[in-house]
């Protein structure tokens, strides 16, 4: 009986994802929809990397480290992981952006990006924001400190302009930039 109930719940979940989400997003342009799908995927990948892979390797004495390539007992930071994924993509730009970035390369490139980040900060329950900016469709996915380690790393970094992040705080956003 429990197995049947779980199976029914799984079927309902799949049908909801396959049928309902396209209906909800139906008003989006194909490019906006693509940006949304990319951002949802990257958020999931980053979450798995942060919560499962990093936590597992820590048990073996391997730690995330900004200079991971110089340390045989280190792996790349979560942000470096997302940027490495973005570096592999040729058809659009994928990266990180924030109002308090450690690296200048993660500063908003346009006023529209800065405004969108401020909107996410004002309403962090809005997980994704898609907008037009000149000849590009852009999307931001809220990037939260999903583990205490994310907040601690930013707070301890000598180049961080903000030193009071807590787990769960909005750190910035994953950004996708697609030419129209």
Range of the domain at 169: 29-179
CA 152 to CA 148: how far, in whole Å? 6
- The position carrying tokens 């340390």 is 71
Domain count, the chain: 1
Q: Establish if 13 belongs to a structural domain.
A: no
From first to last of the 180 residues of the chain, give the pLDDT tens digit.
Answer: 443 333 333 433 344 444 444 444 445 789 999 999 999 999 999 989 988 999 899 999 999 999 999 999 999 998 899 999 999 999 999 999 999 999 999 999 999 999 999 999 899 788 899 999 999 999 999 998 888 888 998 999 999 999 999 998 889 999 999 998
H/E element, 133: strand 128-133
Q: Establish if 91 belongs to a structural domain.
A: yes
Distances (CA, A) of 57 to 46, 52, 74, 94, 131: 15, 9, 9, 26, 38
What is the pTM (predicted TM-score) of this model? 0.79
CA 156 to CA 65: how far, in whole Å? 12
- The position carrying tokens 């705080």 is 169
Q: Establish if 9 belongs to a structural domain.
A: no
> Environment class of residue 27 by beta-carbon count within 10 Å: exposed (0-12), middle (13-18) or buried (19+)?
exposed
């Amino acid at each position: 009986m429990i197995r049947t109930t779980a199976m029914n719940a799984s079927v309902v979940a799949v049908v909801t994802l396959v049928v309902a989400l396209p209906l909800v997003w139906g008003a989006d342009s194909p490019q906006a929809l693509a940006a949304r799908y990319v951002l949802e995927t990257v958020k999931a990948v980053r979450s798995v990397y942060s919560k499962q892979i990093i936590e597992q390797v820590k048990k073996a004495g391997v730690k995330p480290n900004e200079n991971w390539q110089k340390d045989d007992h280190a792996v790349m930071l979560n942000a470096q992981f997302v940027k490495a994924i973005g570096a592999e993509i040729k058809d659009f730009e994928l990266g990180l952006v924030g109002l308090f970035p450690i690296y200048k390369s993660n500063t908003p490139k346009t006023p529209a990006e800065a405004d969108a980040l401020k909107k996410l900060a004002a309403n962090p329950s809005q997980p994704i924001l898609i907008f037009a900016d000149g000849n590009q469709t852009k999307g931001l996915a809220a990037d939260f400190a999903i583990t205490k380690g994310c907040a601690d790393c930013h707070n301890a970094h000598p180049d961080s302009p903000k030193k009071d992040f807590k787990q769960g705080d909005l750190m910035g956003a994953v950004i996708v930039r697609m030419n129209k």
